[in-house]
Amino acid sequence: MGLLFWRLLLVLMGCVLVRHTVSSDACEPNPCRNGGSCNRTGYGSEFGLDFECSCPIRYYGIICHYDKCDPGEYPCFNNGTCIMSYDNIHHSYKQACKCTANFHGDYCDLVTCGANALCIHPGTSKILHTRECPAVHVNGYKCVCNSGYAGDGINCTKMCGANATCINTGNCERGPSDHCNEDLGFKCVCNHGYEGDGVVCIKKCDTNAMCIDSNTSQILPTDHCFEPMGLKCVCNQGYEGDGFTCKRTTV
């Protein structure tokens, strides 16, 4: 009887020792992921474990293995970054997207088109009459520069016409005619002998010249000859020159 008692006592003490050893090592190594901190709880915790994880605000789960910013749970488009933002109204953290330049919206799914651009669906040519354009990969819309401008639809610069020059109106510096940046003080100016807005420049005939249709030889009652339509300035009889400048013929 006495021997059996001591044997049972030793077995029970061994079990307690084993349980204590397992419990004390529950956080070594740290089972919590993503920077979570491990807290020993002993047996009988909520999930039947002898530890609990305190997770950073972005993560949750038994071992902090779920990400609140997982793209499947909270997507941020156009290279936006998911962050945890503090909600002052509800006094809690929630997901939010930090958008890259030019994009905005809850999911960075909107882009503001440039002043010289339209929001267009390339497949249907449907135009949304707003500068707030849904991101292209969401429903197919994109910002497209207006006619006479070039760029990515957000930054659009004027393209000068064939008979125009890009000039800085402040210092007369010349700029690239295919990207004449008006925001930097540049402007498309029609070359000498032409008139227009810098995109479409029409030849202005000399006062001693006439505008002739090269196809029919018909004289048109205008001093603005549009060359792409086959019109040409020709000096009047008794004058010579290129039609821009006509001088009296010397004998």
Last residue of a domain, one of 44, 67, 90: 67
State phi, psi for 18 to the nearest 5 degrees: -65, -45
Q: What is the pLDDT of residue 136?
A: 53
Q: Is residue 4 part of a domain?
A: no
Q: Is residue 145 part of a domain?
A: no
Q: Is residue 184 part of a domain?
A: yes
219 with 234, same domain: the answer is yes
Whether the Cβ atoms of residue 204 and residue 226 lie closer than 8 Å to each other: no
H or E element that contains 134: strand 132-134
pLDDT band at 8 (very low <50, low <70, confident <90, very high): very low
Is the bond preceding 29 in cis, omega lying within 30 degrees of 0?
A: yes
165 with 194, same domain: the answer is yes
Q: Is residue 15 part of a domain?
A: no
Per-residue pLDDT at 7 exceeds 50: no
Q: Is residue 123 part of a domain?
A: no
Mean pLDDT computed over every residue of the chain: 81
Report the number of distinct structural domains present in the chain: 3
Whether the Cβ atoms of residue 113 and residue 136 lie closer than 8 Å to each other: no
Q: Is residue 51 part of a domain?
A: yes
Last residue of a domain, one of 18, 42, 67: 67
Last residue of a domain, one of 11, 46, 67: 67
Average pLDDT over residues 152-181: 88
Distance, CA of 163 to CA of 225 (rounded, Å): 13
- pLDDT tens for residues 217-235? 888 887 777 776 778 889 9
CATH of the domain at 53: 2.10.25.10
Q: What is the pLDDT of residue 90?
A: 73
Q: Is residue 46 part of a domain?
A: yes
Name, in order, each residue with C-beta under 8 angstroms of 183's C-beta and a sequence gap of 6 or more.
Answer: none
Cβ atoms < 10 Å from Cβ of 141 = 23
| Residue 74 tokens, joined | 């909270």
- pLDDT tens for residues 36-51? 999 988 765 555 678 8
What range defines the domain where residue 166 resides?
159-200
Which region among 87-91, 110-114, 136-140, 181-185 has the lowest average model confidence (pLDDT)? 136-140
Distance, CA of 78 to CA of 142 (rounded, Å): 13
H or E element that contains 138: helix 136-139
Q: Is residue 224 part of a domain?
A: yes
| Residue 141 tokens, joined | 């819309």
Three-state DSSP at 165 gives strand
Distance, CA of 120 to CA of 135 (rounded, Å): 11
Q: What is the pLDDT of residue 167?
A: 93
pTM: predicted TM-score of the whole model, two decimal places = 0.52
